[in-house]
Amino acid sequence: MSMKRFFVPTLLSMLAGAALAAATVGEPAPAFNATDTSGRKVSLADFKGRTVVLEWTNPGCPFVQKHYRSANMQATQKAAVAQGVVWLSVNSTAVGDTDYKTPVEMGVWMQQQRGTPSATLMDSDGKLGRAYGARATPHMFVIDGTGRLAYAGAIDSKPTAKVVDIQTATNYVTRAVDELAAGQPVSVLSTSAYGCSVHYGTPG
**Torsion-angle region of residue 171: left (phi > 0), alpha (psi -120 to 50) or beta?**
beta
CA-CA distance, 118 to 78, in Å (whole number)? 10
CA-CA distance, 65 to 131, in Å (whole number)? 25
**Digitized pLDDT (tens) for each residue of the chain, 204 residues in all:** 333 344 444 333 333 343 456 799 999 999 999 999 999 999 999 999 999 999 999 999 999 999 999 999 999 999 999 999 999 999 999 999 999 999 999 999 999 999 999 999 999 999 999 999 999 999 999 999 999 999 999 999 999 999 999 999 999 999 999 999 999 999 999 999 999 999 999 875
CA-CA distance, 204 to 11, in Å (whole number)? 28
56-197 sits in which CATH class? alpha beta
Domain ranges within the chain, ordered by starting residue = 56-197
pTM value is 0.90
